[in-house]
Amino acid sequence: MLPQEAIRAKRDGRALSAETIGELIAGIADGGLSDAQVGALAMAIYLQGMSPAETVALTEATRDSGEVLDWAGLDLPGPVLDKHSTGGVGDLVSLVLGPWVAACGGHVPMISGRGLGHTGGTLDKLEAIPGYSVTPDTATFRRLVKEAGVAIIGQTGRLAPADKRLYAVRDVTATVESLPLIVASILGKKLACGLDALVMDVKVGSGAFMPTPEASRQLAETIAEVASLAGTPTTALLTDMSQPLAPCAGNAVEVREALAVLTGERRDGRLLEVTRSLAAEMLLAGGLAADREAALARLDERLTSGAAAERFAAMVAGLGGPSDLLERADHHLPTAPRVREVRAPRDGYLAALDTRALGLAVVELGGGRRAPDDPVDPAVGLTGIAALGTAVSAGDPLAVIHARREGDAERAERRLLAALEIGAAPVAAPTLIQDTIRREAP
């Protein structure tokens, strides 16, 4: 079918065949479709939606538009597993999860992204580590996945190239919020990694990517269904993002928090609970544990023994970072020259947090991007962010700002005070892990 006829069919609400979708995605990848046609197709999908079968075909075509990683030749002794998060504030799960699962026998080739809007990016966090390369050659990437069990890197031009072009067009044509396009974009890249199983972390709350809890649930269910129909068993967890996942937000500060969890310095908290639950699902999906109790026991032993921290250290060193990061983190990780406490204006309880506003405060400090090519300051951010429900007295610290300049700190303080609500009555934080959706491949 001619591209314009396929676009017309979708514009008029007709379903497209898998063959036609494959031809369209191939045209996006190789330049056969013009930008005008790509934009028109995206708008037609945005307005008319897609059936489950069409969404599966779109996902598979996006996955197959470039290289699909094949691990068979490496003779890996364990399953190839990965997770993806829809993003949030203080969400440094990947830094802990990848090495933790690797220490339990999994192999985690994690292709991650940079900060987007108010959310922090895994690659930006890792680049706060001096020397860490997120663009290694293929041989180094494959060697680390086998030997260290984990390698967290950026997307190469060979993986799902159609998605890169389609996303760029969606971004300037107001079609980003289309569910089929979101699902195909997320899964096209992830499934191109040749996974045996995938676990999704879909956020719900004021800092979530999706605007409502209902939309988050729909995204989780659709991703689990589509990925499984495309041949990759997938589990999706709905987790709370009505406050930062960790008590910090920024790049170097989040690496420090990851090290605190991996080395046992931090033994509780929301970050650890979510990461432990996601890791348990990965072990179950990969056949590395017989049941949830066994999975949790194995995870706890690998964390306590230091094996997870050792995997992180091996990954960092293997990708050009310092070999003594665990022992000398303060020496290697940058710090900001201005530190300012944000104090409670009155007695009460921390009743609400505008998590998105906290993320944007980090962006304004320089820890994120307003435009794709903006530089990122790895040293700035927030620490000591108080948890929802915390009882405070006037003058108690609610957060600590790490800034490059005094003026930046002052502006961030105003934004934080506007984002935090002090109430008179105690409040309970929302349930952290709200649901688990499992789908098996047919």
- Would residue 435 show up in a list of annotated catalytic residues for this protein? no
Cβ(308)–Cβ(314) below 8 Å? no
CATH code of 393's domain: 3.90.1170.30
* Phi-psi group of 87: left, alpha or beta (phi > 0 → left; psi -120 to 50 → alpha; rest → beta): left
Regarding whether 340 and 276 lie in a shared domain, the answer is no
Cα–Cα distance between 323 and 317 in angstroms, integer? 5
Please pick, among 65, 156, 178, 185, the residue that the annotation labels catalytic: 185
- What does the block give as tokens for 339? 């530190």
- Would residue 189 show up in a list of annotated catalytic residues for this protein? yes
Regarding whether 225 and 154 lie in a shared domain, the answer is yes
Cβ(209)–Cβ(410) below 8 Å? no
Q: Is 337 exposed, middle or buried (0-12, 13-18, 19+ CB in 10 A)?
A: exposed
The per-residue pLDDT for 1 is 76
Residue 254 falls inside a structural domain: yes
Helix (H, G, I), strand (E, B) or coil at 63: helix
The per-residue pLDDT for 157 is 77
- Would residue 305 show up in a list of annotated catalytic residues for this protein? no
CATH code of 12's domain: 1.20.970.10
* Pick from 419, 416, 422, 417: nearest CA to 351: 422
- Would residue 170 show up in a list of annotated catalytic residues for this protein? yes
- Would residue 122 show up in a list of annotated catalytic residues for this protein? yes
Helix (H, G, I), strand (E, B) or coil at 435: strand
Please pick, among 59, 62, 86, 122, the residue that the annotation labels catalytic: 122
Residue 64 falls inside a structural domain: no
Please pick, among 170, 276, 356, 402, the residue that the annotation labels catalytic: 170
Regarding whether 187 and 164 lie in a shared domain, the answer is yes
- What does the block give as tokens for 434? 């709200």
Please pick, among 107, 142, 189, 270, the residue that the annotation labels catalytic: 189
Q: What is the DSSP letter of 107?
A: B
The per-residue pLDDT for 168 is 85
Angle, helices 179-191/213-229, rounded to nearest 10 degrees: 50
Residue 136 falls inside a structural domain: yes
The per-residue pLDDT for 375 is 86
Cα–Cα distance between 367 and 355 in angstroms, integer? 16
The per-residue pLDDT for 280 is 98
To which H or E segment does residue 143 belong?
A: helix 138-147
Number of domains in the chain: 3
Regarding whether 117 and 227 lie in a shared domain, the answer is yes
**For residue 372, what are the contacts with CB-CB under 8 A and spacing of at least 6?**
none
The per-residue pLDDT for 210 is 82
- Would residue 82 show up in a list of annotated catalytic residues for this protein? yes
Q: What is the DSSP letter of 172?
A: H
Regarding whether 187 and 95 lie in a shared domain, the answer is yes
CATH code of 210's domain: 3.40.1030.10
Regarding whether 415 and 299 lie in a shared domain, the answer is no
The per-residue pLDDT for 115 is 65
Cα–Cα distance between 324 and 428 in angstroms, integer? 41
- Would residue 185 show up in a list of annotated catalytic residues for this protein? yes
Regarding whether 390 and 318 lie in a shared domain, the answer is no
Helix (H, G, I), strand (E, B) or coil at 67: coil
Regarding whether 319 and 350 lie in a shared domain, the answer is no
Report, in angstroms and rounded to the nearest whole number, the Rg of the chain calculated over CA atoms: 22
- Would residue 201 show up in a list of annotated catalytic residues for this protein? no
Please pick, among 20, 55, 65, 85, the residue that the annotation labels catalytic: 85
Regarding whether 153 and 122 lie in a shared domain, the answer is yes
Please pick, among 83, 107, 118, 311, the residue that the annotation labels catalytic: 83
The per-residue pLDDT for 117 is 62
**What's the whole-model pTM score?**
0.93
**For residue 215, what are the contacts with CB-CB under 8 A and spacing of at least 6?**
none
pLDDT under 50 in the chain at which residues?
Answer: none
To which H or E segment does residue 8 belong?
A: helix 3-11
The per-residue pLDDT for 167 is 86
Please pick, among 10, 84, 164, 332, the residue that the annotation labels catalytic: 84
Could you give the residue ranges of the DSSP H alpha helices within 148-233? 161-172, 179-191, 213-229
pLDDT tens track for 348-394: 999 999 999 999 999 999 998 776 678 899 999 999 999 999 999 99
- Would residue 83 show up in a list of annotated catalytic residues for this protein? yes
Please pick, among 107, 114, 190, 217, the residue that the annotation labels catalytic: 190
For residue 23, give its domain range: 3-49
Please pick, among 82, 196, 201, 377, the residue that the annotation labels catalytic: 82
**The tokens 């649930």 sit on which residue?**
217
Cα–Cα distance between 373 and 369 in angstroms, integer? 8
Regarding whether 262 and 189 lie in a shared domain, the answer is yes
* Pick from 63, 56, 124, 55: nearest CA to 92: 124
Regarding whether 307 and 168 lie in a shared domain, the answer is yes
**The tokens 């939606």 sit on which residue?**
49
* Pick from 350, 384, 359, 349: nearest CA to 206: 359
